[in-house]
Amino acid sequence: MAERSFKAEVEHLRKGESDVFTGEGILAITKALLENGVGYVGGYQGAPISHLMDVLADAEELMAELGVRFEANASEAAAAAMLAASVHYPIRGAVTFKGPVGVNVASDALANLSSSGVTGGALVIVGEDYGEGSSIMQERSHGFAMKSQFWMLDPRPNLPSITKAVKDGFELSEASNTPVMLTVRIRSCHVTGSFATRDNQRPPLTVAEAVANPRSDFNRVVLPPMSYLHEQDKVKNRWPAAEKFITENGLNEVFGPDEASLGIVLQGGMYNTVIRALQRLGLADLYGETEVPLYVLNVTYPIVRDEFDAFCEGKSHVLVVEEGQPDHIEQQLASYLYRAGRSVKLHGKDVLPMAGEYTGQIMLDGLTTFLKEAAPALLPGNVRAPNAEAPEIPDLSQTVPIRPPGFCTGCPERPIFAGMKLVEQELGKHQITGDIGCHLFACLPPFEIGGSTMGYGLGPASNAAFDGGGERRAISILGDGGFWHNGLSSSIGNMVFNKSDSVAVIVDNYYSAATGGQDVLSSRAQNDSKSTNNPIRAALEGVGVKWIRQIDNTYDVGRVRDTLKEALTTEYAGPKVIVMSSECMLNRQRREKPQRAAAIREGRRVDVPRFGVDADVCTGDHACIRLSGCPSLSLKKLDDPLRDDPVAHIDQTCVGCGNCGEVADAAVLCPSFYRADIVHNPGRFEMWRAGIRMKFIHWLQARRDRIRLRMDSAA
Amino acid sequence: MRPPAAPGVGLDGIIKLAVMAVGGQGGGVLTSWIESVARAQGYACQATSVAGVAQRTGATIYYIEMAPEGSRQPVFALAPAAGDVDILIASEMMEVGRAVLRGFVTPDRTTLIGSTHRALAVSEKVVPGDGIAKAEEVRAAAEVAAQRLILADMDRLAVERGSVISASLFGALAGSSALPFSRDAFEDAIRRSGKGVEASLRAFAAGHDAATGAVPEKGCIVATDPEPTAARLPVEGDHLAVGEADTDGMIGPDALLSDWRALRDRAAVFPVEVSEMALAGLRKVVNFQDCAYGGLYLDRLERVLICDEEARGWKLSLNAAKYIANAMAYDDIIRVADLKTRAPRRSRIEREMGLGDDQVMQVTEYFHPRAEEIAGLLPARWGRRLEANPRAMARTERWFGRVRRLRTDTFPAFTLLHFLGGLKKYRLRTRRHEVETLHLHDWLDRSLARSASDYDLAVEMIKCRRLIKGYSDTHARGLAKFDTVVNAVDLVEGREDAAQWIARLREAALQDSDGIALEGALRTVRSFAGTPEAP
């Protein structure tokens, strides 16, 4: 089960005609899919569209009522490949994944799909993970649309526009026999708002009906000579059809006065940021009424030349607002202007930065620079000549520490990397590669384990150059999500086939945890609609791995350390794979906390562990923290003039995972840690026994206190 | 009844509000409450957030805009812009700093509501010395940057009422009157959410009270609930009638207390700059051992005082008072066993864990003694002989050097530790005591030998004792660093800036555990001292 449940919200998806939906963008997209008679949906989770997958999974019942098939695809490639159903059948299909990494993975299927062309509307909803809060390399998905010739929508970031884009996308796809990519940015996915709903539509042809009446047509297969015809078809028929549809249906929007000497061409997703900058310059009101003409590209590919030409009519300066690089749109528009021999001055990356997110301040600065040149009279006086000096605010850049993401409190991956660090302390530094997933946090302090990440499921593959072994074997990390996504074939199969003399560690936390705790094949949970409980070990044996070690309790740091050492030093020359399994603590707490609370309420015996540190015993060297980094293991300054350095301290958010004690043992740290177990609802015998024990202990303590001096506050 | 619109409400009534939080703090809940109250009060409202990996304990921003509902839909921004935020809520002190640093807090408009508590970043915690960021600098900057500033330990206000920080921050937002909604409207939003309502409302009230103490103009309020004071359970034999001031924090039987008073009176005649630290040190060593040992501490300190003078501000003695006490109260098995079996310790844990009357508490200790600790516990001569024999050490490691998990709420484990903790008389004959005493003399002699020629250098050498801490490997590394720095005295001695260099080396040694910064600093010293690289 995913980290966040949308069961309650999913009920809003049943809303019909003349009703209003209020909520998150992700849910609005789902509702729009149902309103537009989608026949099948799928995708692969990843920020920022993880919740879309969660919503779809939680809405499975409703979709089944409508005859809509939902697949939690094995990867983005699998999701894109599923759209093949729309090649021969007039069925609308939609898949979702993150961009551009998910688009990278899907690109093979997307290219083939684009060549074949589609009969039913095919929509790829991409959560573009770009800018603040992104967890991946900063690139754009735009280039994929250009090279494969599919269309790209980038609607204005509000719920009515996003839901309309779903409808437009399907229709555009069908009108031009071309798949359509709908991009939503990080914050658009989670933007809240309202839109007027319509009734959900049952697809005219369901996948169940289609599979009962199969079709095929070799003209749609990507094989010569048909593939040559596909290329011509794209340019001669599909592209013009798309432009016609875009123009006739007004997919792009123009705002502001008809007559002006300047204008702004912008991606739909940039609209709110542009309006805000204009509002701050006094050139637009709260509702977006603007004094500067705007040409809003809700379709960012293809660019309709006639529309652009018309917009430029009578203007001397036009600014292109296009986030990220390369500046595909600006180049395209510049070439249109040049070929037409027009003298309109085109601005873009000269006043706005080539790279990086267009934040509010950057947009304001860029627009100000543009307006200073294009129409200085429009700018308010204080912008043209600022008079008031802002007060000097002390610089905190050296004070405030960075706070990158890291392992959660009680994370079962922490002890794995503590164990690895101990091995490295003993055997020296090793060549280590990471993968995609929470375990990549290990490359940050305090562990600093692993130096690269090449893609999902590619951890061991990215160590392939070192497969020949050597004095110190290379180690690679792979998560369970990555293992099932791509790792089994690309990484493990690669190791087996090439007789790799290196070590792979598979971190199995029972979920695709980094993306929000979705189930994968090896998840231990019972899932009514998916097949879980397929062990990783069995898959490893199936592809021919002979040396496998399974650790079912990653908190046993000593065992983690010893098993790794064994893998690094064994005589066995083939691939060595260690599966380290313990449940993601975030999901475990979410699952167990209510159960535990209920058990305590019902009077059953419950043991709740938590760790603590004896401040008097701790010497403040922080060695334990350098092997942990747990948010609940922190520091405390003592009110003692004799102590210079803060001591370790465990706060009440500790979940009692046991890592602290294990690390203190395995690394021979110090005896200041203790574990306190509070037993709720103990039995009568247990209470009696505890009472006797405490009496005895008090007697011993009192006896000693009669004959010695001690500090009033000690211990 | 609605309070009048607060300052900062801008053009057309639009209000821009950002929440800067640490992933996992409940920023999402706070955001949904704010949205809920705004919509219920007839406002159009839009919220955005970034979910995903960035939220796993990392810094994250939630952003909300609202404006009175009209016939048309306002165009709201999706992210905060520098200089354009009306209300900023920061759920941790360094996030307050980050908000100021990013320009989201400006004197013309921003109401800044922040929690003063700290959730330390990893980079602050891994430093072997004190790497904690300076909250005072953040506070000073926030006072300049904010139009209105409300700071309080929102985390404690919430936790003490069985809730989480999102509720107390929501209360503070209501109390700040920065949003034109009544308190009831805020509370209704909590009730509508339907989860943990009572606890949330208690924390909400606490946050509200903390904020309403705020001065309407520029100003700063800080909730100053005192730390809950520990109620110590009386133990038989305590002389509770004797006032604490009379015994300066020590308790015990009458006869011993009179010995203690005599010691205390000896320390009381020390120069006023030194006496307070000396008393703290004295308490520590008597607590560690006994009054005779306390006498020895004062003897040693008096030896330092003879080399010291008032004109120097008694710096040498002040530091000696601190570090001699730390050196004399070394961390041996006996001390750890003693501290782990004292009555107040159990009470403290019971309190921290919130043990109820109908519950039972089990306490597990994690020990991992090595051969070195076993040898240290032997009589000096035996211990010396064992340490000199690697094979015997290896055997001892095999026999004893393993993980010991002791349940100190049970008879056998408690009795064992109680027995070990009572070996104080014997302690003075152990190998560990011999080693520690030799080390202490060597360090003190070497430092005091410089007191006449280079007083500041002697002070810095005394302070180097700070480097020795931890157990096992960490202790060994600390000792090695101590030796490195103290031996570097030979390189710089005679220079005018010798003391500064030793101080610099010591600070470098505290920066990282592997001694990389120290090695770098040492290379610099060697370069001007004309000495080749270390052998």
Q: Is A441 on the interface with B (CB under 8 A)?
A: yes
Q: Distance between CA atoms of B504 and B483, rounded to whole angstroms?
A: 15
Nearest to A445 among B123, B349, B418 (CB): B123
Q: Which amino acid is at B292?
A: A
Q: Distance between CA atoms of A137 and A145, rounded to whole angstroms?
A: 19
Q: Which residues of A touch B472 (CB under 8 A)?
A: 668-670
Across the interface, do B56 and A406 touch by the CB < 8 Å criterion? yes
The helix or strand, by DSSP H or E, that contains position A153, with its residue range, turns out to be: strand A151-153
Across the interface, do A713 and B346 touch by the CB < 8 Å criterion? no
The answer to whether the CB of B80 falls within 8 A of the CB of B50 is no
Nearest CA in chain A to B31: A192
From the candidates A271, A273, A429, A616, which should be mutated to test the interface with B, based on the most B CB atoms within 10 A? A616
Q: Distance between CA atoms of B486 and B465, rounded to whole angstroms?
A: 10
Shortest alpha-carbon distance between residue A112 and chain B (Å): 31
Q: What angle do CA B57, B58, B61 make, to 5 degrees?
A: 120
Across the interface, do B235 and A701 touch by the CB < 8 Å criterion? yes
SS3 content of chain A, % helix, strand, coil (to 5): 40, 15, 40
Across the interface, do A682 and B107 touch by the CB < 8 Å criterion? no
Query: How many of the other CB atoms lie within 10 Å of CB of A423?
Result: 20
Evaluate the omega torsion of the peptide bond into residue A48 and state whether it is cis, within 30 degrees of 0: yes
Surface of B (227-246) touching A: CB under 8 A: 230, 232, 235-238, 244
Nearest CA in chain B to A709: B252
Q: Is A625 on the interface with B (CB under 8 A)?
A: yes
Number of H helices and number of E strands within chain A? 26, 24
Q: Which residues of B touch A617 (CB under 8 A)?
A: 331, 336, 339-340
The helix or strand, by DSSP H or E, that contains position A184, with its residue range, turns out to be: strand A180-185
Domain covering A604-706: architecture: 2-Layer Sandwich (3.30)
Q: What is the predicted pLDDT for the residue at A8? A: 86
Q: Is A355 on the interface with B (CB under 8 A)?
A: no
Number of H helices and number of E strands within chain B? 26, 10
Nearest to A404 among B58, B325, B364 (CB): B58
Q: Which amino acid is at A293?
A: P
Across the interface, do B24 and A408 touch by the CB < 8 Å criterion? yes
Across the interface, do A676 and B237 touch by the CB < 8 Å criterion? no
Please, what is the angle between helix A659-666 and helix A557-569, to 10°? 50
SS3 string, B256-310, reads: HHHHHHHHHHHHHCCCHHHHHHHHHHHHHHHHHCCHHHHHHHHHHHHHHHHHCCH
Across the interface, do B81 and A276 touch by the CB < 8 Å criterion? yes
Q: Is B261 on the interface with A (CB under 8 A)?
A: no
Across the interface, do A631 and B145 touch by the CB < 8 Å criterion? no
Q: What is the predicted pLDDT for the residue at B85? A: 97
Across the interface, do A686 and B276 touch by the CB < 8 Å criterion? no
pLDDT band for position A382 (50/70/90)?
Answer: confident
Q: Is B11 on the interface with A (CB under 8 A)?
A: yes
| Domain ranges for chain A | 18-197+216-248, 253-384, 414-587, 604-706
Nearest CA in chain A to B43: A193
Q: Which amino acid is at A149?
A: Q
Q: Which residues pair with A508 in a beta bridge?
A: A581
Q: Which residues of B touch A285 (CB under 8 A)?
A: 12
Shortest alpha-carbon distance between residue A616 and chain B (Å): 8
Using CB atoms within 10 A of its CB, is residue B226 exposed (0-12), middle (13-18) or buried (19+)? Answer: exposed
Across the interface, do A396 and B339 touch by the CB < 8 Å criterion? no
Across the interface, do A396 and B100 touch by the CB < 8 Å criterion? yes
- The domain made up of A253-384 is a member of CATH 3.40.50.2300: no
Across the interface, do A709 and B256 touch by the CB < 8 Å criterion? yes
The answer to whether the CB of A323 falls within 8 A of the CB of A316 is no
Provide the whole-model pTM: 0.92
Region of B483 please: left (phi>0), alpha (psi -120 to 50) or beta: alpha
Q: Is B281 on the interface with A (CB under 8 A)?
A: yes
Q: Which residues of B touch A270 (CB under 8 A)?
A: none
The answer to whether the CB of A654 falls within 8 A of the CB of A611 is yes
Nearest to B373 by CA among B330, B319, B419, B425: B330
Query: How many of the other CB atoms lie within 10 Å of CB of A526?
Result: 10
Q: Which residues of B touch A272 (CB under 8 A)?
A: 75-78
Residue ranges with strand state E in A247-307: 253-255, 262-267, 294-297, 299-301
Chain position carrying tokens 């290196």 = A502
The answer to whether the CB of A555 falls within 8 A of the CB of A507 is no
pLDDT in tens, chain B (535 residues): 333 333 333 366 899 999 999 887 888 999 999 999 999 999 999 999 886 655 677 888 999 999 999 889 999 999 999 999 999 999 999 999 999 999 999 999 999 999 999 999 999 999 999 999 999 999 999 999 999 999 999 999 999 999 999 999 999 999 999 999 999 999 999 999 988 899 999 999 999 999 998 443 333 444 333 333 333 344 444 444 444 457 788 999 999 999 999 999 999 999 999 999 999 999 999 999 999 999 999 999 999 999 999 999 999 999 999 999 999 999 999 999 999 999 999 999 999 999 999 999 999 999 999 999 999 999 999 999 999 999 999 999 999 888 889 999 999 999 999 999 999 999 999 999 999 999 999 999 999 999 999 999 999 999 999 999 888 888 998 999 999 999 999 999 999 999 999 999 999 999 988 889 999 999 999 998 876 554 4
Region of B57 please: left (phi>0), alpha (psi -120 to 50) or beta: left
Shortest alpha-carbon distance between residue A512 and chain B (Å): 12
Across the interface, do A709 and B50 touch by the CB < 8 Å criterion? no
Shortest alpha-carbon distance between residue B78 and chain A (Å): 6
Across the interface, do B366 and A661 touch by the CB < 8 Å criterion? yes
pLDDT band for position A2 (50/70/90)?
Answer: confident
Q: Distance between CA atoms of A36 and A16, rounded to whole angstroms?
A: 12
Q: What is the predicted pLDDT for the residue at B2? A: 34
Q: Distance between CA atoms of A383 and A367, rounded to whole angstroms?
A: 11
Evaluate the omega torsion of the peptide bond into residue B535 and state whether it is cis, within 30 degrees of 0: no
From the candidates A53, A272, A286, A685, which should be mutated to test the interface with B, based on the most B CB atoms within 10 A? A286
Q: What CATH superfamily classification does A414-587 receive?
A: Thiamin diphosphate (ThDP)-binding fold, Pyr/PP domains (3.40.50.970)
Q: Distance between CA atoms of A87 and A216, rounded to whole angstroms?
A: 9
**Two tokens at B89?**
């809520």
Evaluate the omega torsion of the peptide bond into residue B128 and state whether it is cis, within 30 degrees of 0: no
Q: Which amino acid is at B103?
A: G
Nearest CA in chain B to A622: B128
Q: Distance between CA atoms of B67 and B71, rounded to whole angstroms?
A: 12
Across the interface, do B344 and A157 touch by the CB < 8 Å criterion? no
Average pLDDT over residues A254-283: 96
**Two tokens at A82?**
């599923």
- What would the pLDDT profile of A536-547 be if each residue is shown by its tens digit? 999 999 999 999
Q: What CATH superfamily classification does A18-197+216-248 receive?
A: Thiamin diphosphate (ThDP)-binding fold, Pyr/PP domains (3.40.50.970)
Q: Which residues pair with B406 in a beta bridge?
A: B365
- What would the pLDDT profile of A94-115 be if each residue is shown by its tens digit? 999 999 999 999 999 999 999 9
Q: Which residues pair with A345 in a beta bridge?
A: A317
Contacting residues for A705 by C-beta, under 8 A, at least 6 apart: B235, B236, B237, B238, B252, B343
Q: Is B146 on the interface with A (CB under 8 A)?
A: no
From the candidates A161, A270, A392, A403, which should be mutated to test the interface with B, based on the most B CB atoms within 10 A? A403
Q: Is B123 on the interface with A (CB under 8 A)?
A: yes
At residue A495, φ and ψ (nearest 5 deg) are -65, -45
Q: What is the predicted pLDDT for the residue at B11? A: 62
Q: What is the DSSP string of A525-545?
A: S--SSS-----HHHHHHHTT-
Nearest to B46 among A160, A192, A558 (CB): A192
pLDDT at A628 over 60: yes
The mean pLDDT of chain A is 95
ipTM above 0.90, yes or no: yes
Q: Is A188 on the interface with B (CB under 8 A)?
A: yes
Surface of B (340-399) touching A: CB under 8 A: 340-346, 348-349, 352-355, 358-368, 370
Across the interface, do B370 and A702 touch by the CB < 8 Å criterion? no
- What would the pLDDT profile of B273-326 be if each residue is shown by its tens digit? 999 999 999 999 999 999 999 999 999 999 999 999 999 999 999 999 999 999
Shortest alpha-carbon distance between residue A98 and chain B (Å): 12
Using CB atoms within 10 A of its CB, is residue B83 exposed (0-12), middle (13-18) or buried (19+)? Answer: middle
Pairing between strand A92-99 and A38-43?
A: parallel
The answer to whether the CB of B174 falls within 8 A of the CB of B204 is yes
Q: Which residues of A touch B195 (CB under 8 A)?
A: none
Q: Distance between CA atoms of A111 and A548, rounded to whole angstroms?
A: 38
Chain position carrying tokens 């600070």 = B507
Q: What CATH superfamily classification does B15-212 receive?
A: Pyruvate-ferredoxin oxidoreductase, PFOR, domain III (3.40.920.10)
**Two tokens at B178?**
């920065």
Q: What is the predicted pLDDT for the residue at A1? A: 57
Average pLDDT over residues A127-142: 93
Say whether B334 sits in a helix, a strand or coil: helix
Across the interface, do B474 and A670 touch by the CB < 8 Å criterion? yes
Residue ranges with strand state E in A322-458: 345-347, 432-433
Q: What angle do CA B333, B336, B338 make, to 5 degrees?
A: 105
Q: Distance between CA atoms of B387 and A440, rounded to whole angstroms?
A: 43
Q: Which residues of A touch B256 (CB under 8 A)?
A: 707-709
Across the interface, do A697 and B409 touch by the CB < 8 Å criterion? yes
Q: Which residues pair with A254 in a beta bridge?
A: A295
Q: Which residues pair with A475 in a beta bridge?
A: A432, A503
Q: What is the predicted pLDDT for the residue at B235? A: 42
Same fold, A253-384 and A414-587: yes
Shortest alpha-carbon distance between residue A360 and chain B (Å): 5
Shortest alpha-carbon distance between residue B205 and chain A (Å): 22
- What would the pLDDT profile of A641-651 be if each residue is shown by its tens digit? 999 999 999 99
Task: Name the strands in the sheet holding A317-321, side by side, starting at the edge strand that comes first in the sequence.
Answer: A253-255, A294-297, A262-267, A317-321, A345-347
Say whether B463 sits in a helix, a strand or coil: helix
Q: Is B49 on the interface with A (CB under 8 A)?
A: yes
Q: What is the DSSP string of A86-133?
A: HHHS--EEEEEEEETHHHHHHHHHHHHHHHH--SS-EEEEEEE--STT
